[in-house]
């Protein structure tokens, strides 16, 4: 018998917390937010029905404190907890403690999180289940001789990977034997620092790979479906920055085979709720299991736009014990969607984080555009959390229309106060290889360099000028411009913000 969820604590912040809170509101479910000191007036805090303080800005003292979150859950009398993504979303101990407290965890079972959280254990399980895995070690490598023997066996180049965690941390490509031991030691140190575990392993580095992932949903009654694929090959430092659905290289036949493999992976680990099975596809269209993300993905909206299915609402329905509403042959694939992650980073300074207050914000609008964000004008990008400002999404009847629409949207995106990755995203959209669909995971490293981005920056200078003038007009209307001490005239917006129309001060 399905258990009706009436009140949910969202154990996260920013964009994903806002996304979940809005879904809860549409379902008539009361939402509870948590916040650190710097998020006291954040968008997710203000949108929730209730909000509770959980500590100072460092995540280790707030959003990662299981005890504080469970204390709020008891105090607010919620039925369930949604972890979002990041922070505690893939922490099996958190999932266990939530269930031990008599609450519903809106996510997979702790055992599935634990099994898929270890890349080596996941590889073992998937191989046993009949999936093709990338050639390499099936367990952590602890000594130099084993590493050298394994690398020789699978052939260079090889990839060193941390057994736990993700985001590219602890990952290194090795092309020659003389570098292997040094890079293994460096990867161990980085893995220990990032994940508290120094275990690393080796696998064959696939050349010219595409990163293709499948969204899956699994209920508590043994039903599993996939919701088609997402192309996530546009990456920098092994992190996704632009995603789209469907992939230009996936034919209906490949989609059917990879989708069945994704469902097989979910069944092998006893999975429930929403998850993502990731594959690497080589130049011959052979696909290999890479890993499984046991949570909602950052890029889940591209699937929503191409299927019309709200994944957060499906997560909640599954958590209530309901059966899946769809069968596999009922999952549509409509048009084409693209997502650009807009980060507060300085493109021309090697994508270094750009902190500060957003002084002017006017996101794009119009047909086929969606923006998922957790910040608005006046909000601050701090050193404490991920610098993502928003996820800009577009839908088109086909890939060509989607690209054209994203170009238009990026050019209409006006923001001052911090530097952003908008110029980079625009450069990708206008890149000939991207438009032709001829790219792989090395695309950013191969196609982008200073002169390319500088030219993109120059093309955006008129946009910067318009944004600054609009801000100047708004402040004038509200009497917020300081008069010049000698002339009495309002000070130029360029002087107020310290910005000039030149490339090294690019702020959009």
Q: What residues are labeled active site?
A: 295
3-state DSSP assignment of residue 63 = coil
Under a CB-based contact definition with an 8 Å cutoff, are residues 204 and 134 in contact? yes
Return the H-helix or E-strand segment holding 54: strand 50-55
Closest CA to 387 of 105, 15, 77: 15
Under a CB-based contact definition with an 8 Å cutoff, are residues 289 and 260 in contact? no
The token pair at 126 is: 């998937």
Pairing of strands 158-162, 172-174: antiparallel
Closest CA to 185 of 397, 366, 175, 174: 174
The token pair at 311 is: 């994944």
The token pair at 330 is: 């009922």
CA atoms within 13 A on the CB side of 496: 19
The token pair at 379 is: 């909000």
Burial class of residue 506 (count of CB atoms within 10 Å of its CB; 0-12, 13-18, 19+): buried
Q: Long-range contacts for 220-225 (Cβ within 8 Å, ≥24 apart)?
A: 220/272, 220/318, 220/321, 221/323, 223/323, 223/324, 224/263, 224/266, 224/267, 224/271, 225/263, 225/324, 225/326, 225/327, 225/328, 225/331
Closest CA to 279 of 220, 214, 329, 228: 214
3-state DSSP assignment of residue 437 = coil
Query: What is the rounded distance in angstroms from the CA atom of residue 124 to the CA atom of residue 106?
Result: 27
Closest CA to 265 of 239, 241, 292, 233: 292
Closest CA to 119 of 161, 154, 174: 161
Pairing of strands 380-381, 287-293: unpaired
């Amino acid at each position: 018998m399905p258990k009706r969820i009436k009140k949910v604590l969202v154990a996260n912040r920013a964009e994903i917390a806002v996304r979940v809170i809005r879904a809860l509101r549409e379902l008539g479910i009361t939402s509870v937010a948590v916040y650190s000191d710097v998020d006291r007036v954040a968008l997710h805090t203000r949108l929730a029905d209730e909000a509770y303080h959980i500590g100072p800005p460092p995540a280790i003292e707030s959003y990662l404190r299981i005890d504080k979150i469970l204390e709020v859950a008891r105090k607010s009398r919620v039925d369930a907890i949604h972890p979002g993504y990041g922070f505690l979303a893939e922490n099996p101990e958190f999932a266990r403690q939530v269930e031990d407290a008599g609450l519903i965890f809106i996510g997979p079972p702790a055992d599935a999180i634990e099994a898929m959280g270890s890349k080596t254990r996941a590889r073992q399980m998937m191989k046993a289940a009949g999936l093709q895995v990338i050639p390499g070690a099936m367990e952590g490598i602890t000594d130099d001789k084993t590493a050298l023997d394994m690398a020789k066996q699978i052939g260079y180049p090889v990839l060193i990977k941390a057994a736990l965690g993700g985001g590219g941390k602890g990952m290194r490509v090795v092309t020659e034997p003389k570098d292997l031991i040094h890079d293994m030691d460096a990867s161990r140190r980085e893995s220990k620092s990032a994940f508290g575990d120094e275990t690393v392993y080796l696998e064959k580095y696939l050349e010219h790979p595409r990163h293709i992932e499948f969204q899956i949903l699994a209920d508590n009654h043994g039903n599993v479906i996939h919701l088609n694929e997402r192309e996530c090959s546009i990456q920098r430092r092994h992190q996704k920055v632009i995603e789209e659905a469907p992939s230009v290289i996936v034919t209906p036949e490949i989609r059917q085979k990879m989708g069945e493999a994704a469902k097989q992976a979910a069944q092998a680990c006893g999975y429930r709720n929403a998850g993502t099975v990731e594959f690497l596809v080589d130049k011959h269209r052979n696909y290999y299991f890479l890993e499984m993300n046991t949570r909602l993905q950052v890029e889940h909206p591209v699937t929503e736009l191409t299927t019309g299915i709200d994944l957060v609402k499906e997560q909640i329905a599954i958590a209530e014990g309901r059966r899946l509403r769809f069968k596999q042959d009922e999952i549509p694939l409509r048009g084409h969607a693209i997502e650009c992650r807009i980060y507060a980073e300085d493109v021309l300074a090697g994508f270094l984080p750009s902190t500060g207050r957003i002084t002017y914000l006017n996101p794009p609008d119009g047909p086929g555009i969606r923006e998922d964000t957790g910040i608005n004008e006046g909000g601050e990008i701090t050193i404490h959390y991920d610098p993502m400002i928003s996820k800009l999404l577009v839908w088109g009847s086909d890939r060509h229309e989607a690209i054209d629409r994203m170009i238009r949207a990026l050019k209409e995106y006006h923001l001052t106060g911090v530097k952003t990755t908008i110029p980079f995203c625009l450069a990708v959209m206008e890149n000939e290889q991207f438009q032709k669909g001829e790219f792989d995971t090395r695309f950013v490293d191969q196609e982008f360099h200073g002169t390319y981005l500088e030219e993109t920056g120059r093309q955006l200078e008129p946009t910067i000028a318009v944004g600054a003038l609009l801000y100047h007009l708004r402040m004038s209307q509200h009497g917020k411009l300081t008069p010049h001490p000698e002339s009495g005239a309002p000070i130029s917006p360029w002087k107020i913000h310290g910005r000039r129309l030149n490339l090294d001060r690019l702020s959009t």
